[in-house]
């Protein structure tokens, strides 16, 4: 089981989970796992269906879209959150730059937390709406 204190700290920084209480985040973490990957490991592959999201606890990774580098992510960053929510295809590829320690949040872990504390879903919807508004503003002004 992941280190709860460290994982709560990381999840609280992520907009998707920022409004969740320590108890709510704890439920998500309880059903999550940690994984360490080696440099060069493809964490997420664009176009493949996903059923989990990843929180980077240590290390960095490169994000590519259509084989073009679009950014870099490090500790506290979340990748794969859209597929975590809808089990849809990945929108980018993420490759470990160095050894990367991940908190793996499965759709099952998230659904179990929502089933136990239904208010989590309202908080997640609010976070998603905020993100959509930000993207809309960035695209349309």
Residue 12's CATH number? 2.60.120.10
Residue 110: the pLDDT is: 77
Within a domain: 92: yes
Residue 5: the pLDDT is: 64
Distances in Å between the Cα of 130 and the Cα atoms of 1, 54, 56, 88 are 31, 20, 22, 20
Question: Range of 59's domain?
Answer: 4-109
Please state the domain count of the chain. Answer: 1
Within a domain: 103: yes
Lowest mean pLDDT segment, chosen from 4-8, 112-116, 136-140 = 4-8
pLDDT tens-digit map of 30-83: 888 999 999 999 999 999 998 898 989 899 999 999 999 999 999 888 898 888
Within a domain: 91: yes
Residue 68: the pLDDT is: 96
Within a domain: 140: no
Within a domain: 125: no
> 59 CB contacts (<8 Å, ≥6 apart)?
74, 75, 96, 97, 98, 99, 100, 101
At 115 the three-state DSSP class reads helix
Within a domain: 71: yes
Within a domain: 118: no
Within a domain: 45: yes
């Amino acid at each position: 089981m992941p280190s709860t204190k460290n994982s709560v700290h990381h999840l609280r920084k992520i907009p998707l989970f920022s409004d969740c209480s320590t108890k709510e985040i704890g439920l998500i973490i309880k059903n999550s796992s940690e994984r360490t990957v080696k440099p060069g490991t493809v964490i997420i592959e664009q176009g493949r269906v996903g059923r989990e999201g990843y929180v980077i606890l240590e290390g960095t990774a490169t994000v590519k879209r259509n084989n073009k580098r679009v950014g870099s992510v490090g500790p506290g960053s979340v990748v794969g959150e859209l597929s975590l929510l809808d089990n849809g295809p990945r929108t980018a590829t993420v490759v470990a730059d160095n050894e990367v320690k991940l908190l793996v949040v499965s759709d099952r872990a998230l659904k179990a937390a929502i089933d136990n504390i239904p208010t989590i879903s309202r908080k997640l919807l609010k976070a998603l709406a905020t993100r959509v508004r930000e993207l809309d503003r960035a695209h349309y002004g």
